[in-house]
Amino acid sequence: MPFTFTKRRCPDIQLGGPGTEEVTFHLGGGLGSDGVNRYYILWKAGRMLVIQAKAAYCSSQEEGDPEYGRVLSNLQAMLETIDFNPPAGESWAYLMPGEGTCGQGRLKYRHEPLGLRQECWSRKIAEDHIEVTRWGGPMHREGWWNGKEVDLCTPWISTWASYADDLANGHRLMQSSGLKHLTFPMLGHIMRRGEVVGLLTEAAIGRGVEFSDRDAVIEAVTEMQRKGVIHRSLNPGNIFITDHGVRFLGISSVLLMKDDESLDEEAEKWHWEGLRRCFAELKPKICNDAPTARKMCYPALVIPPLTSPTKPLLLPGMSQWSAMFALYLESEFRYNRWRQRNISSFDDDSETDTNVTLYSQRHVSTPLILDMKFGRRRGSREVELGSSESEGSTTGNTPHFRLRLRASHHPYRRESSRRDFRDDVTASSDTSDSTLS
């Protein structure tokens, strides 16, 4: 049954949006680095729970990890018993196999330390004082704190704790070197029940660097180098132009060099060779299309509850979500491939996918989770996926889909050229060599 696109739109659902307090979302997970344990990240009513499957569930090592979907279906059957706010506040649970009312398992909650080695040199900020508005992947979240738009770096598994440590140490180095103005500054350490679980920074909001920004970027990098600081990750995705000048991401990669000879060698390798590659990549482009954490979309999948005559569906369109959940359980690869193909071809009038099939005789419409709308910004961005029968269709047996993407980033104005930037595209992009004298 091929997928095509159509013009009408079906109901949306937002992660954490109105009416979703009783909806459980699957945010991701997978097979651990040990090749044995599996992890499932669930979200409900603003609280995240990581579930670890025990080894008894992990006998299969086949490509594609089919056991992952089987355990997820067990968690679906356990939705009513999963406690997202246990008495001791744990955010980790072990799935004990062969127990429970139907043998699908039982959860044992416990505290799982992340292994962060951060020294609290900055403000301590309670996690529940931060309003999270968007899930941005395994470590990145977005939100509001103290009237400011912020980014959260909160690793959920100890494997990634070292990155958060390096990021905090990098911000400490930049601040002590008088280079805070070149970063999206760290605001404090995120605390959960007295333990450091991550760090909070100003939101990385700005215009991606362009070829015509070379002079400003070179000046900023030279300032870092004069202080003996080397930034080892200069690329189009880590350099921003803001209302306050040039700012850098990738602060986890900064180093302090005390020897002048070593400083010159490292600067040539990381700064100047890196900038040559960066601007060579940007020169032929109309805009900077490098991916960043705030640009990337991390899909959340609704886990529909098992229904019965006494349990009505929670939200309109839940039957459609059930169909998508079934496709995910059958083949995560085909589900992700279907999603990627639809997103990558949103501007086409029509497209079919003969390799991805829904095994259903009914019409299936697929709403799309909008990660979050940023209504409090000057701009907004929105992704919509609609579904209905195509115009002129007489059979009504084929599902038709159309993806509609509308985006508008913050308009950032450069006083020197008075250009407005939206969607990282300028009305008159300058890719000439005019900035070189």
pLDDT digits (tens, 9 = 90+) for 209-255: 999 999 999 999 999 999 999 999 999 999 999 999 999 999 999 99
Residue 224 lies in a domain: yes
pLDDT of residue 153: 93
Q: How far apart are CA 98 and CA 95, in angstroms?
A: 9
Last residue of a domain, one of 159, 178, 202: 202
The domain in which residue 89 lies consists of 24-112+299-305+316-342
Residue 229 lies in a domain: yes
Last residue of a domain, one of 169, 202, 235: 202
Can you read off the two tokens belonging to residue 106? Answer: 């039982």
Note whether 198 and 211 are same-domain residues: no
Residue 289 lies in a domain: no
Contacts of 165 (CB under 8 A, 6+ apart): 116, 117, 118
Q: How far apart are CA 132 and CA 226, in angstroms?
A: 38
Mean pLDDT of the chain, nearest integer: 73
Tens-digit pLDDT profile for residues 375-384: 334 444 444 4
DSSP state of 182: G
Residue 139's CATH number: 3.30.200.20
Residue 241 lies in a domain: yes
Residue 128 lies in a domain: yes
pLDDT of residue 369: 39
Q: How far apart are CA 221 and CA 214, in angstroms?
A: 10
Which among 183, 415, 139, 430 is positioned nearest to 288, based on CA atoms? Answer: 430
Burial 265-286 (b: 16+ CB within 10 A, else e): ebbeebbeebbeebbeebeeee
Residue 52 lies in a domain: yes
Note whether 266 and 253 are same-domain residues: yes
Which among 104, 118, 3 is positioned nearest to 353, based on CA atoms? Answer: 3
Total of domains in the chain: 3
Q: How far apart are CA 196 and CA 114, in angstroms?
A: 9
Residue 256's CATH number: 1.10.510
Note whether 129 and 103 are same-domain residues: no
Note whether 196 and 238 are same-domain residues: no
Residue 91 lies in a domain: yes
Tens-digit pLDDT profile for residues 313-366: 556 667 777 878 888 888 777 777 776 665 444 334 333 333 333 333 333 333
Confidence band for 98, pLDDT divided at 50, 70 and 90: low
Q: How far apart are CA 100 and CA 407, in angstroms?
A: 46
Note whether 213 and 175 are same-domain residues: no
Can you read off the two tokens belonging to residue 18? Answer: 């109105």
